[in-house]
């Protein structure tokens, strides 16, 4: 798929631009959420707000990174000997996509506190997932798994485990 996109200079620059901008914006949303939860500490206690918003994504990210290290799945540009549109030099560690996992754990975290923001980030994450496949740095299975694991960790953390402690 990425070879068809690579033949168009406009699409190549769009893929690179979209990846850079969306990743940056979404990763800025998470610290903004943490700041908002800190500022709302009088209405949302730390045990319901800031602490789970840090621990659930953080623990999930570490566990996913450990899993990914042991799986060490090759990237499309390694398997098909192509030049990725998105600049990436990493060998392996393709499955699951940690970029997409991060977007979806952030989306689920935001959804817990601000549902509309969570939905918007989730929709943007779906577009980013497609972009990373077209950019040649992930297979479809990588981004789908990253999204599902991110959503699953968020749901388990916020809607199953957290209520047990409240």
Query: Per-residue pLDDT tens for 89-130?
Result: 888 999 999 999 999 999 999 999 999 999 999 999 999 999
Distances (CA, A) of 3 to 6, 14, 78, 126: 5, 14, 14, 21
Number of Cβ within a 10 Å radius of residue 43: 8
Sorted by where each begins, the domain ranges of the chain are: 2-165
Residues 5 and 134 sit within 8 Å (Cβ to Cβ) = yes
Encoded tokens for 52:
């789970």
Query: Per-residue pLDDT tens for 35-52?
Result: 999 999 888 888 889 999
The DSSP secondary-structure symbol of 49 reads: T
The model carries a pTM of 0.92
Query: Per-residue pLDDT tens for 64-86?
Result: 999 999 999 999 999 988 888 99
| The predicted structure's pLDDT at residue 3 | 66
């Amino acid at each position: 798929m990425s070879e068809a996109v690579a033949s168009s200079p406009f699409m190549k620059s769009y893929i690179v631009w979209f990846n850079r901008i969306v990743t940056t914006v979404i990763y800025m949303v998470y610290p903004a959420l943490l700041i908002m939860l800190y500022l709302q500490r009088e209405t949302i206690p730390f045990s319901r707000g800031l602490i789970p918003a840090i621990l659930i994504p953080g623990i999930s990210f570490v566990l996913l990174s450990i899993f990914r290290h042991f799986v060490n799945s090759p990237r499309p540009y390694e398997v098909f000997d192509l030049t990725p549109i998105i600049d990436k030099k990493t060998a392996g560690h393709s499955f699951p996509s940690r970029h997409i996992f991060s977007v979806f754990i952030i989306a689920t975290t935001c959804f817990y506190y601000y549902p509309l923001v969570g939905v918007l980030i989730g929709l943007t994450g779906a577009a980013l997932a497609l972009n990373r496949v077209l950019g040649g740095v992930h297979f479809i299975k990588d981004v789908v798994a990253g999204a599902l694991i991110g959503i699953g960790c968020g749901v388990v953390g916020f809607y199953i485990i957290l209520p047990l402690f409240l």
